[in-house]
Amino acid sequence: MANYMEELLDMPLRNVLSIIQEGIMNQATYFGVGAQKSPMDAWVYQEIMYETRPDVIIEIGTAYGGGTLFLAHLCDLLGKGRIIGLDFSHKNVPEDVKTHPRISFVEGDACQNFEYIEKMILKDDRVLIIEDSSHTYDNTLNVLRLYSRLIKLGDYFIVEDSICHHGLVIGPNPGPYEAIETFVTENKDFEIDRAREHFLITWNPKGYLRRTALNNTQFYATKPETISTSEKTTESSIRGTIKLLFHKLSKPMQNTPRLAAGSFTFL
């Protein structure tokens, strides 16, 4: 029997989530390719990508490749970025996805391949990670612990499907949700950004992790730009001129009162 929204306005949210899950797993496609992604979360991904402009997106768990192609198309629109798709097998990924110039596929276990993936990333690359693998507690936590070191200040690590047993009665229990809670308890460099759940319905509750600190030093503002040698010389010259002016002004002059102490402050 077909479900139509206007006829089901009193349906419990839990039942609504089950219907959406059915659509995601068995009907959703992107450019004709299977894409097992929540459309509302996919929209949030493009918001994050527009704001952070990642150089590299690591997608751990690619399935049929529809989500990978979606990310690559967003990179096309942004004019930058490349995708590293990691899964045990990519036999179900169509050739037109595999041959997209922004996509590189790597087969194998995410944790075992970390050093290989790390070598594919340049030192200054900004990285976005989307974790969508086995969803077990241990594996999710291990991936978080390993790959989080690639995330720079202000950037995101997204853990998918934390909806398992926190909206849908599916998947491992404990699972991603509990792994996230453990990770942010032990790693104070990351915070859960629940503002990213602005559609209310998300397949990633508590799953949007933003790096706000480096080695527990809080970071919320833009880093000051490095001052070049020439700028330092100019700054030193200006300070010297001001100090000389202050020295002259501070000398007693006939019928002129001395400047009060503290009239000038030097940094």
Does residue 253 surpass a pLDDT of 50? no
Q: What is the per-residue pLDDT across 119-171, written as a single tens digit (0 to 9) for each?
A: 999 999 999 999 999 999 999 999 999 999 999 999 999 999 999 999 999 99
The CATH fold assigned to 11-218 is Rossmann fold (3.40.50)
Per this entry, what is the length of the chain? 267
Q: What is the per-residue pLDDT across 174-201, written as a single tens digit (0 to 9) for each?
A: 999 999 999 999 999 999 999 999 999 9
pLDDT at 204: 98
C-alpha angle 164/167/169, rounded to 5°? 55
Give the residue extent of every domain in the chain.
11-218
Backbone angles phi, psi at 151, to 5 degrees: -85, 130
**CB within 8 A of 189, min separation 6: which ones?**
148, 211, 212, 213, 214, 215, 216
Does residue 260 surpass a pLDDT of 90? no
20: left (phi over 0), alpha (psi -120 to 50) or beta: alpha
Q: What is the per-residue pLDDT across 33-84, written as a single tens digit (0 to 9) for each?
A: 999 999 999 999 999 999 999 999 999 999 999 999 999 999 999 999 999 9
Query: Which residues face 256 on adjacent strands?
Result: 253
